[in-house]
Structure formats: C-alpha cells, structure tokens
C-alpha cells in the first residue's frame, strides 16, 4: 500500500501536465489552415471533447470519492450503533452516543452527505430519528437494570434479617420448615433473572405467590413467628418480588420487553444504514458507468471526425493520416486502455491503473488509481479497527478468538502444548469510582503495556477480553512455562507500583491470574478453554487476589 501511494505521488509531482486539447488545436490549425470552415467545425467538436474530460475530472471523480468516504462513515456508524444497543451502563451509553454524534456531525461538516437527493436526506433523517429512539430505549433498559439490582439487594437484606431471628435457632421442626420455605422463596426469586421467556416468568410468579401465601399461613399459626413480626418480613418480601410495578417479577418482564425493543430498533437502524450504504454504492456505480459512457462517446466522436476529414480532404491525406495516428495513439487507444484497466481493477485489486503520457488522460488514470487506493486503505483500516481494542491498542476479544483457533490448529497438528492465561485487575471498580474513569482508562493502558513487555515471543498473543479482563495465549508452552510467565507478570506489577490506595490487597495495582493448559487424553489433544481459565481466576480471587492459580481438571470418580 505504501509503495503504491509513493509511486502515485512521484508521478503527480514529477510530470508536467501538457494539455491534450492544446496539442490537438495546434495540429488542426497547421493541418487545415486553408479550409477555415472545416477547421472551425473540428475545433468546436474538440472543444466538446475537452469539456467532457474536464467534466469527468472536476465532477465525476469528486462524486466517487465522496461516495467512498460516506460508505466508510456508514460502516463506522454501524459499529457505534451496536455499541449503543449493547450499553449496560450510563458511561457506555455516553461513549457510544458521543461516537454516533461525531459520525453524524462529521458527515454534515465535511460536506460528504449529499444535498441534492431528497430521498437520501430523508433516509438520513430517519436514521437520526431512530437513533434517538434507540437511545431512549437504552436509557430505559439501564434504569430497569438498576431497579432490579436494588430490589435484589433489598430481598437479600430481608433474608439476612430472617437468618438473625432467634426462632431460626430453634430445633423445632416447624421452624426448620419455615426457614427452608423462606430460602426457597428467595431462590425462586433469584431464578427470575435467569429466565428469558415471559411465559416462564409468569409460571415462576405463580410459584412465588403460592410459596409466599403458604409462608404467611404458617407464620399466622405460629406464636413465635407472630412475636418476631415474621408476617411483616413476609409482606416486605412479597412487595419486593410481586409488587405490580417495582417488583422483581414486573421489572424482569419489563426488562425482557425493553431488550426486545432495543434489539428490534437496533436491527431497524442497521437495515436503514445498510440500505443507505447500498443506495450510495449504487449511485457510485452509476457515476462510474457515466464516466465509461462518456469515454466511449468521446471515442466515437473522434472516429467520426477522422472519417469526415479523410473523405473530404484527399489532398492532405498524408497529413491527415499522421494526425489520425496521433489521435488514435494518444487518445483513443489510451482511453480504451483506461477503460479496460478500470474494468480489470474492479475484478482484481492487484491491477494498477496507469496510462503513459502527461496529459488529462494520464491525470484521469492517476485520479482513478488514487481513489481506488484510498478505498482499499479505508477498508484495511476498518478491518484493523474491528480487530483491535480502541483504548489500549492491543487485540480485542474477536481477534483473540480467531488467533486461538489458529493456535489450536497448530498445536493439534504438531502435538505441542497450548496455555491460556486469563487476568483480571484487582479492585478495579474501586479504582474507577475513586480516581475517575479517565484515570481508569489510563490505568488499563499501563496494564496492557506491562503485560506486553512480559511477552517477548512473537507467537504469544495478548488481548483485552472485556472490561478489566485480559487474556494471553501461549503456544508451545508447558505448565511450568505458563506458571513462570504468570509469576513474571505478578513481579512486574509489584515493580511498577501503579498507585491504588483503595485496593484491598496492596497499595498498588495488582492482578489475579487463572491458568489453563491443554491436556493429552488417549492420544487426543483436549484444548484449553476460557471457561477453565475463568474458573482458575475465580479461585485466585477467592485465595486473596494478587496470585495465580492453575486450573485442575476434575478427576473421574472411580467405582468401588
């Protein structure tokens, strides 16, 4: 790509442009000085040819370039729209909304957005309106999520109060049954958050209602329960779970409905943007067809002029033949070459559009090549952006999954071990809450840099897996090697001393690591998984953080 761009810049800078129209005019004046009428007619036709070339250079090429820029911006708008629909916090919503506004305002301020097509403008207006609606739905989704979280906290608080009551310490069977019934009600309420169908939620609602009613009847018949105001706590539990508008059941139903609406609105916007991009691509195709048609018309015009001159002026046949050869060689043939190269470039991106000479046709060919190069560069940039994390600059989860599949294929073929490290920054939420999100982003960048420095091999892959989680892929690495890398990472963070006064482990940023390794079983390679590394990471958190834990596969139970 860089070599091709340099080659184009050198051509434009080094060659002086000679006007093809001026050369033709001088030749005509010399050739047919005695016949002014025919010279005037020919000159007028050649002027028309010059206007065609200028029109192609000044109008068609900018239109095609604008179409390409708009197509690239619509692709970016698709990406940030997906980020908005997936936002689960106000911070993520603000970031996505800011990116969307930047894309829309960028299109308006740079003049890329067409102003002479009412249908396209209406399409853009519809996209903006639907984005506003989607943003409103995402706001509702976040509010409902927060309400559900609050109700969960309230429910577990009531359950904690029940556990502290003296009656629960009694050894009487009724008390034990009542405690189990209350715990069962809490479990049923917790299961609501795992159900993703309204019919299942309604079924769970009936079970909860029956369970709470049975508990109320039992509490009313129990003197000790009355003494401890158990019925009040049951009523609180019923309000938390079954309240018509703010209960967990109602909130979960509202959450599912909003999620469906968010997905539907997101799909609608995606379709609108896709239709808009296709319409823009179609107009770009029409412009290309118009350019080729103009070139063909110009070719036919020149041939007709040659025939007219040859039939009328036999006397100047030799001069005319020389002029015709000049026209055919420097105009017709080169226009055909340009047309063929444009068609070949559409099928094969390795073809380079180049026409010899230093006139308008050469400039046109260079403009086409520059445009195609710009489009390919934008496409490559988009692909790189989709495979890298915008904050840290390292690979993202999508890139990690692809590289994992590739490394697994190599490990299976070569029978070499493969290790995965899943890392999580300890107490990062407290870091964000106390230092601010901007410092949190800066901390994540430092973490990524530190991790990258601990991976000297080119085959090792580092990726940001999500939030404050990072993943490392270590091909051809044994268990001891993976443990050595993990310990080296812990030592690096200890040496770096990134301040974290709100950590529960140390006064600096620390990290917990889960390690999993591929296994050989009956001559077959069992690949490591992220789930295994996550289990090991969970154990590392349980063991106090700032450490690594190797995943241990469960041993098959042996029959006696």
Secondary structure in 3-state letters for 15-29: CCCCCHHHHHHHHHH
459 close to 418: Cβ distance less than 8 angstroms: no
Task: For residue 516, list its beta bridge partners.
Answer: 420
Long-range contacts of residues 406-413, Cβ cutoff 8 Å, at least 24 apart = 407/459, 407/461, 407/473, 407/475, 408/527, 410/475, 411/475, 411/476, 411/518, 411/525, 411/527, 412/525, 412/527
| Backbone torsions φ then ψ of 143, nearest 5 degrees | -65, -45
Q: How far apart are CA 145 and CA 147, in angstroms?
A: 5
Q: How many CB atoms lie within 10 A of CB 256?
A: 16
Q: How far apart are CA 270 and CA 72, in angstroms?
A: 15
Q: Is the dihedral of CA 323, 326, 327, 329 positive or negative?
A: positive
Which helix (H) or strand (E) element contains residue 470?
strand 469-475
pLDDT at 171: 46
pLDDT at 105: 75
Q: Token digits for 67?
A: 């179409």
State pTM to two decimals: 0.40
pLDDT at 168: 45
Q: Token digits for 321?
A: 């033949």
Would you call 538 helix, strand, or coil by DSSP? helix
pLDDT at 6: 58
pLDDT at 313: 64
pLDDT at 437: 92
Domains of the chain: 2-77+307-385 (no CATH), 78-306 (1.20.58.920), 397-550 (3.30.70.270)
pLDDT at 108: 58
Query: pLDDT averaged over consecutive 10-residue blocks of the chain (560 residues)?
Result: 55 54 71 67 66 66 67 75 79 81 67 57 78 83 84 82 61 60 80 82 83 76 60 80 82 82 82 77 72 71 69 69 73 76 70 68 71 70 71 90 92 92 95 94 95 92 92 94 96 95 93 94 86 95 95 66
45 close to 32: Cβ distance less than 8 angstroms: no
């Amino acid at each position: 790509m860089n070599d091709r761009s340099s080659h184009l810049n050198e051509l434009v800078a080094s060659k002086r442009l000679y006007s093809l129209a001026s050369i033709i005019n001088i030749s005509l004046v010399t050739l047919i000085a005695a016949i002014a009428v025919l010279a005037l007619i020919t000159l007028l036709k050649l002027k028309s040819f010059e206007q065609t070339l200028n029109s192609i250079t000044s109008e068609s090429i900018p239109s095609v370039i604008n179409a390409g820029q708009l197509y690239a911006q619509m692709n970016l708008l698709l990406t940030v729209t997906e980020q908005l629909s997936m936002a689960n916090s106000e911070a993520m919503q603000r970031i996505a909304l800011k990116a969307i506004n930047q894309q829309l305002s960028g299109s308006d301020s740079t003049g890329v957005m067409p102003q002479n097509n009412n249908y396209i403008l209406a399409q853009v207006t519809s996209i903006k309106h639907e984005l506003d609606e989607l943003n409103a739905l995402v706001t509702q989704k976040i509010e409902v999520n927060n309400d559900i979280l609050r109700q969960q906290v309230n429910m577990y608080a009531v359950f904690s109060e029940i556990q502290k009551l003296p009656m629960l310490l009694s050894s009487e069977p009724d008390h034990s049954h009542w405690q189990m019934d209350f715990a069962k009600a809490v479990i049923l309420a917790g299961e609501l958050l795992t159900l993703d169908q309204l019919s299942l939620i309604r079924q769970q609602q009936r079970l909860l209602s029956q369970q709470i009613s049975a508990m109320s009847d039992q509490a009313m018949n129990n003197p000790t329960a009355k003494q401890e105001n158990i019925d009040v706590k049951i009523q609180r539990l019923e309000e938390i779970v079954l309240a018509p508008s703010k209960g967990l059941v109602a909130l979960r139903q509202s959450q599912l409905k909003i999620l469906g609406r968010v997905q539907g609105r997101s799909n609608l916007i995606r379709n609108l943007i896709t239709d808009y991009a296709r319409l823009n691509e179609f107009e770009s195709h029409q412009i290309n067809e118009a350019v080729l048609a103009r070139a063909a018309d110009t070719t036919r015009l020149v041939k007709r002029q040659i025939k007219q001159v040859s039939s009328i002026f036999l006397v100047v046949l030799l001069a005319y033949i020389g002029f015709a050869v000049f026209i055919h060689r420097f105009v017709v043939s080169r226009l055909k070459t340009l047309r063929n190269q444009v068609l070949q470039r559409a099928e094969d991106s390795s073809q380079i559009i180049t026409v010899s000479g230093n006139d308008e046709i050469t400039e046109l060919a260079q403009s086409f090549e520059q445009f195609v190069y710009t489009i390919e560069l934008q496409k490559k940039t988009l692909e790189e952006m989709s495979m890298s994390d915008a904050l840290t600059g390292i690979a993202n989860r999508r890139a990690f999954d692809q590289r994992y599949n590739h490394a697994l294929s190599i490990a299976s073929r070569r029978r070499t071990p493969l290790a995965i490290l899943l890392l999580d920054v300890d107490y990062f939420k407290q870091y964000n809450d106390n230092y601010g999100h901007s410092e949190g982003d800066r901390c994540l960048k430092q973490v990524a840099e530190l991790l990258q420095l601990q991976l000297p091999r080119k085959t090792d892959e580092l990726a940001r897996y999500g939030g404050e989680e990072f993943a490392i892929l270590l091909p051809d690495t044994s268990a001891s090697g993976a443990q050595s890398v993990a310990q080296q990472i812990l030592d690096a963070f200890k040496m770096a001393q990134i301040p974290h006064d709100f950590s529960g482990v140390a006064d600096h940023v620390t990290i917990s690591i889960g390690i999993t390794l591929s296994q050989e079983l009956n001559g077959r390679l069992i690949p490591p998984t992220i789930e295994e590394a996550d289990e090991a990471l969970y154990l590392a958190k349980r063991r106090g953080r700032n450490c690594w834990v190797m995943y241990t596969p469960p041993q098959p139970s042996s029959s006696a």
